[in-house]
Structures are given as structure tokens and as C-alpha cells.
Structure 1
Amino acid sequence: MATDFWASSHFKRWIVDRATLNQARSEDLLYVDDPEYLEYLGIFFANVITKLGKKLQFRQRTIATATVFFRRFYLKNSYCETDPFIVIAACCYLAAKAEESPVHIKVVVSESRTLFSHTYGVKTFSSSDNSKLAEMEFYLVDDLECDLIVFHPYRTLLALCKKAPGEDNSSEEGEAEDEEVGVGIDDGPRYWGTGQGRLELTPAALQTAWSIINDTYRSNLCLLYPPHLIAVAAIYLTFILHPPIQPEHIEQPNIPQPRRSSRQASHGTAAAQAQAQSSQPKKPQDPISFLADLNLSLPLIATISQEIISLYTLWDNYKEDTSPDATKLARELTNSPSPTKASGSGGRASTGTTPAAASDDMTDAEGNFITPSFLTSVLIKMREVRFLEHARATGRPIAINKRLERAQAVG
């Protein structure tokens, strides 16, 4: 496995600019009613990958890798010309191999079919679609250019931070990644400060930073910025939710100095000084100085932090039963009220983004949130319009779907 991020394919080929992202979604913009729906689709698909990964008992790192594969694939493809649910299953199947925790293809197909049909009403896989997933994996690896090594912010977070001494060290997610702490960290130049010491965080603060990193995969941050910058931004936002105690505000206990006689032998002076130093309390850390000493652009960290807050603001208007933590973080970071929009003439709140022609089954009962059922309907509509337009222009279906159908027929 590559240990130098700066020499990796991740840095050289898969850190892109916003112009590339806009170009990747240019075709989808032709078939969607509101461009903001595409941002919600990014959140929706990341949640689907997380659900499928948990059903397959993936570690968080494997789920994150699958999400990165999905976003890289759609740098070269559009939602309206492919079936994202097939791509999600292929990304999870491939990520399990890349992270050395492979799962049998039949298990992936079975769990995907159950999740997609029962939860989202999407019948992507039948009972014998192993060849369909294997074919999609082939095209996925081709579009990823065989670049399967992905760097994540988790390693930087655990390299920069540790739990405060005396705190409870039991953390399910932390223990899952303990084996990876320090792997490849000492190879090549460090990219933070002097590398001396780590920042001590309470278990709650460390868990919050970890959760913020998990949430960043709902956006395109993993394609725009190196992972260590995202980790530092997560630490910065953690200080908003868990304010650090400044050293000057900590009262130092008054430790009495031992009495010494003028007749004491000089050879005992060194021992007495060492004992006095050991009895003194440890100097508290200054988190602000720690961040300031990092060899990073603090304005860039502030920019990433603002983008994470913007993600929470958007996510706050997306309702799914499995994302209460995200809503809580959104409330705390943005200090925003309920995402209910201005009421219309009839007194009922509107989302402000749903077209007037949209049916009531596309939103939840209150009509205040963007829901998975609504986004599924948006995706189906986009694909149907695109398929019809392409068939009228060329007289044949879109290529990638035709190849998948041929592979399914052969199987």
C-alpha cells in the first residue's frame, strides 16, 4: 500500500477543481428541475452506501472508500445515463477488495436487492444478477483507471489527536481503526508542525471529530481537498462544539516546596530537584497554539470548515430516519431553527425547492423536507427523459446500459 500521499494517484489524479465538478454534472443539469437536487442526491447516495456497508458489516474505512469510488466514477459519468444503484453495489464490492476485506459477490447482490427494493422501491437486481454486478465492476475499475488506493482523514485525525489521560478509552470506531494508527506516518516529510506530541481530546470530542469526517463524504470535499486538510478542519469544528480550556484559565495547585537545611549535602540537590519536578502537574495543552503551529494554510482550513457547515445546512433540510446525528450537528454548528420554509397562501409550509407540479407522494407528510422517495422519483424522471431523448436521436439505448443488459442475458 502506498504510504506517501504526495506521490500517490489520489493526489496526482483525483484531487480536482470545481470546474471539473461542474463539468461532470453539466448533463444532469439539463434534466433536473432544480440544480440543488443534485446536491441532495449526493447526500442520498452516500447514505445508501452507508446502509449497504453496514448490512455487509464493513468497517467505516471501507464504507468511506466505496463512497470515494462512487464520486470518482461520477466525475466521468452522469446520473441520468447510468443506474446509480448498480454503481453503489459495485463500489461496495470493489471497496471490500481494495481494503482487504472481500465479500462474496452473491452476498453483495442479495443484500443490495433486499435494501434497494424494500427501502427505496428500486428493483435493480433480480435473484440471479451476479454477472450484472461483475460486469459493472469491470466498467467501474476502467473508469477509476485502476487507482484503488484511497487516503482518508481518519489516519491524520488519529495521528494528530489522542484521548486525554484517565478518560474512558472504549470507542467502537476508534478501536476499529487503532491498528492503522501510524501506518506510513513516519515515511517522508511530516505535513504538520514538528510532529512532537499529539493533541489530547476527550472521548466525546474525538468522537465528534470522527463523526464530522464521516459526514464530509456526503459532499464533494473528498474530491476537492487532501484528506489531512479535512481532518484538521474537523478538529477545528470540534472546538466549536467542545470548546477547549485555555491554559491561563486553569488554576495551578500550590505545591509546597520541601524544606532544605543549609547543612544538606550538595550531592542531594539534583535528586531533590528531580522529585520536585515530578510532583508538579503536567502543563496543560493549548489547542489554539497547536493548530496555529501546524504547517498548513489556516484560511484554507477556514474555507473547508465553512463548506462543512454549508453541507450541514443543506443536510438539515433532508429527512431520513437514519441521520439524527447529522441533524443535531447541523443545529449546533449553524444554530439554525427548524428548516420549515415560509408558508404559502394555504398556510402549509413549502420546501421552497419542490416544483409546484410535483405530486404529494414526493415529499413527506408535512412537506418540509427533501426525502429519499422524492429524490428517487427525481432520478427516475431524469433517466426516463434522457433515455427517450437518446433513443429518438440515435435509435438505440445508452451504451453502458446496453452492455449491462447483454452481460445479464449471457449470464
Structure 2
Amino acid sequence: MATDFWASSHNKRWIVDRATLKQARSEDLQYVESAEHIDFLNIYFANLIAMLGKRLPLRQRVIATATVFFRRFYVKNLYCETDPFMVIAACCYVAAKAEESPVHIKNVVSESRQMFSQEGYGIKNFPSDNSKLAEMEFYLVSDLECDLVVFHPYRTLLTLCGREAAHAVVSEAGEVGVGIDNGPRYWGTGEGRLELGEGPLQTAWHVVIPYSNLTERCAFELFHRFIINDTYRSELCLLYPPHMIAIAAIYLTLVLNDKTRDAIQAQSAAPAPPPRRSSRTNTGSAHRKPAPVPQQDFVGFMAGLRVSLPTVAMIAQEILSLYTLWERYSDTAPESGLGASAASGVSAGDDVVTPAFLTQLLLRMREARLADLAHPASGQPMATNKRLGRTQAVG
């Protein structure tokens, strides 16, 4: 397994540009009313992977790897021509193997059927035959080109904060080849560390947003969300290297965490230190005051990293945009006064978007795609996509 990100397949083949992602979703966009629906589907699918991973149960790193596999698969495939729920199960199954935490295929099938059939998801036709998942595993690994080594932002975050050796999360979230670091540090000079306390460091995993800044229905949901984990609800893992996402999480931490934000503001408002007097003017060492503990230069630390800070700011802005969109998504049915249209399957404006609406949206997309394949504008029926055929057989 590779320990060098720059020489890995992750960097060479699976960091794509926005034009590639736009092309991958171009046909799906023909079957939705708004491009925002695709963004809501990104959140929906990532939440499903996380919930299925917790039921199996899988470590957070395995869940993150499964989400990356899912994103990569749909760079080459369409939502309207596949069964995303079967793909989710296959991604969790393959990711558990890739991260050396295997689970039995029967458990994956059983837990998937139970979870997807719950009220709110309504997937009653998830197959109980293990061979269906085994077949989907074959097609998944084929489309992934057998590139199963995935790098995540966790190790960079811990290393930059000086916690790689001491923090308890290292064994859980450490990158492939923890402790192997003989080459140049791609995140900076390696001479300094950002000494964050437990509170700010945890903020790098989760964001704490003041209650007053949120609408009432989503305030509780946005408390203590993990910043890095939340990025998998978007396509950032396909667009940027993991160390850039980690640095963007640190940047947001410095801004959102009360202690670090106050420290930065105090440093910017503090007057310049007085010139140092000669030691010959001192009356004696007995009357000297202890030297003050130097404060960390957070701005200088960020500026000293060998990365593009405009890119870091762009990633941070996209994360904040994700949270803004996430405010309109709820895994639970909304109350009667918060948007009955979302509960009935209609999404518009600022209504709450629910899993039930998105499940129905997927069904409508698939039906419309089938109709287009059967009755194209040319008058000649188009060849049915193989995976769509398998989806019909499963149903």
C-alpha cells in the first residue's frame, strides 16, 4: 500500500476538475427541477453511508473511504441509470475490506434491507440475495479501477497540530503508513506546530456555530458537526487533495472557535512591543520580571504553509455553503408548521428537504430515463444501460 500521496492513484487519477463533475451529472440534471436537488442527493447519500456504517458497525475512517468510493463510482455513472442504494451497500462492503475491517456480506445485506425499508426511505425492493451485492461489488471495483487506497485529511490535521504521536485518535484516523515520514512535508516546512487545545482541536473535527446564527429548526442539527467528516457530504474529496481540506478545516477552526478567534483579534489589536533595552541598564537579575509566554502567531502559521491560501479560502467557503444548504435538509419529517410541501414530496424555496422527497425524486428520475430510452427523439429505441437492466431485475 502506498504511503506517498503524490505517487498514489488517489492523486494521479482521482483528483478531478469541476468540468469533469459537471459532465458526470449533465444527464441527471435533465431529470430534476433544480440543480440544488443534486446537491441534496450528495448529502442524502453520504448520510445513508454514515448510518449504514454505524449499524454494521464500521470505524469513521471506513465510512469516509466508502463515501469516497461512492463519489468515484458516480463520476462514471448516472443516478438515473443505477440503484444508488445497492451501490451504497457495496461501497461499505468493499471499504471495510480495503481498510482491513471486513464485515460479512450477510450482515451488510441484512442491515441494508432493514435500514432502507424504514419509513422515510421506503425502499421495499432491496434484494435479500447475497449474490446481488457480490455482483455489484465486482462492478464497483471495476469502475474504481482497483484503486482502493484512499488518503484522508485526518493525519494532516493531527500532524499540523502536533498531536500525531500523542492524540488518541491517531490509531483511528491515521493515514496509510502512520509514522512513516522520511520525505519532505507537503504541508509546510515542518519546523513549527499549531498548538491547539482540546477544544479548538475538536472544533477542527466538528463545527460549533452560535445558536443565534441559525434558524430554530436546524440549530440543534448543526451543533457539534465534524468539519472534516461533513466535507464528505459534498464533492470536495474529488476536487482537492486531503491535506488542503485539513488546512481549510484548521482555517475555519481559527475563525469559528471562540478562543482562537479572540486570540487573533487580540494580536491584531495589540500595540507593537517596545524596543528592547540593553542589559547594562538592568539593576539586577533579582528584580527582573519573568519573560511572558509568547503567544502563537496563528496568521503567521497559516502564511508559512506551502499551500495556496486562496485555494484554502475557496475550500472554506464551499464548506460554509454546504452548511447553508444543509440547513434545509432534515433526516426527520418536518413539523406541520415547517413545510408540509416537503413531506408531501414537493420541494421549493426554503422548504425542508427530506429523505422521502429525495427517494421519490430518484424514482421519478429513473422512470423518466426509462421513458427516454424507450422513446428517444430519433424514433429508434436506445440500448438499455446494463446496470439499469440489473436494477430492473432486482426490482
TM > 0.5 fold call:
yes
The structure having more radius of gyration, on CA atoms, is: 1
Residue from 233, 237, 260 that aligns with 1:218: 233
State the match for 2:363 in structure 1. 380
Q: Deviations over 1:77-131 (max 9, x none)?
A: 000000000000000000001111000000000000001001411124233x100
For the 8 Å contact 1:213–1:230, the answer to whether it is kept is yes
CA contact (8 A) 2:151 2:176 kept: no
Tell me what 2:189 maps to: 194
- Where does residue 399 of structure 1 map in the other structure? 386
- Aligned to 1:287, which of 295, 298, 312? 298
Identity over aligned pairs, percent: 60
Using the TM superposition, name which of 18-27 and 182-191 deviates more: 182-191
Q: Which residue of 2 aligns with 1:369?
A: 352
Deviation at 1:231, TM superposition (A): 0.4
CA pair 13-202 structure 1, distance change in 2 beyond 3 A: same
**Larger deviation, residues 238-247 vs 369-378:** 238-247
Query: Structure 1 residues 143 and 290 mapped into 2: Cα distance closer, same or farther (>3 Å)?
Result: same
> Aligned residue for 1:345?
none
Over residues 190-236 of structure 1, what are the superposed CA-to-partner deviations in whole Å (9 max), with x where a residue is unaligned?
A: 11222124212222221221111111001111000101001000100
Question: Do residues 17 (structure 1) and 29 (structure 2) align?
Answer: no
In 1, the alpha carbon distance for the partners of 2:247 and 2:157 equals 7
Segments of 5+ residues of structure 1 without an aligned counterpart are: 164-168, 261-275, 323-347, 352-357
The CA deviation at 1:23 is 0.3
User: Do 2:2 and 2:176's aligned partners in 1 also have CA atoms closer than 8 Å?
Assistant: no
**CA, structure 1 residues 290+360, in 2 after alignment: closer, same or farther (shift >3 Å)?**
closer
What residue is the counterpart of 1:45 in the other structure?
45
**1:91-240 residue pairs with structure 2 within 5 A?**
91-119=91-119, 120-127=121-128, 129-162=129-162, 174=169, 177=172, 183=178, 186-210=181-205, 211-240=226-255
1:328 counterpart residue number: none
1:315 pairs with 2:316: no
Shift, 1:75, TM fit: 0.3
CA pair 311-178 structure 1, distance change in 2 beyond 3 A: closer
* 1:104–1:360 CA distance, 2 compared to 1 (3 A): closer
Shift of 1:396: 6.5
The code of the aligned residue for 1:381 comes to R
- For residue 372 of structure 2, the aligned residue among 361, 375, 389 is 389
Letter in 1 for 2:22: N
8 Å contact kept, 2:80–2:362: yes
CA contact (8 A) 1:155 1:182 kept: no
Return the letter of the residue paired with 2:327: D
Q: 1:306 to 1:109 in 2, by over 3 A?
A: same
Amino acid at match of 1:208: T
- Cα distance in 2 for residues equivalent to 1:294 and 1:170: 22
Counterpart CA distance in 2 for 1:293 and 1:388 is: 56
The code of the aligned residue for 2:235 comes to: N
TM-score norm. by structure 2 comes to 0.80
- Matched residue of 2:195: which SS? strand
Which residue is 2:89 aligned to?
A: 89
Q: Which runs of 4+ in 1 moved over 2 A?
A: 123-127, 174-182, 246-250, 256-260, 279-284, 348-351, 391-398, 401-406
Asked if the contact 2:5/2:151 (under 8 Å) is kept, the reply is yes
Unmatched segments (≥5 aa) in structure 2: 206-225, 274-282
The 8 Å contact of residues 343 and 357 in structure 2, kept in 1 or not, is answered as no
Contact 2:43/2:233 (<8 A) preserved:
yes
The aligned residue for residue 333 of structure 1 is: none
Q: Quick one: distance in 2 between partners of 1:181 and 1:126? A: 34
Deviation at 1:402, TM superposition (A): 2.7
Q: Structure 1 residues 181, 202: closer, same or farther in 2, change over 3 A?
A: farther
SS of residue paired to 1:54:
helix
CA contact (8 A) 1:205 1:242 kept: yes
Which residue of the partner structure matches residue 267 of structure 1?
none
Change in Cα spacing, 1:367 to 1:180, as seen in structure 2 (3 Å) is closer
Is the contact between residue 15 and residue 238 of structure 2 (CA under 8 Å) also seen in structure 1? yes
Contact 1:21–1:75 at 8 Å: present in 2 too? yes
Distance 2:311 2:383 in 1: 47
Amino acid aligned to 1:28 = D
Q: How far is 1:368 from its partner?
A: 2.4
Matches within 5 A, 1:32-71: 32-71=32-71
Name the CA shift for 1:155/1:26 in 2 (closer, same or farther; >3 Å): same
Q: How far apart in 2 are the matches of 1:6 and 1:142?
A: 23
User: Secondary structure of the equivalent of 1:10?
Assistant: helix
Aligned to 1:343: none
Give the secondary structure class of the aligned counterpart of 2:75: coil
CA contact (8 A) 1:116 1:124 kept: no
Q: CA deviation at 1:29?
A: 1.1
Contact 1:213 1:234 in 2 (8 A): yes
After TM superposition, give the deviation of residue 180 of structure 1 in Å: 5.2
TM-score, normalisation: structure 1: 0.77
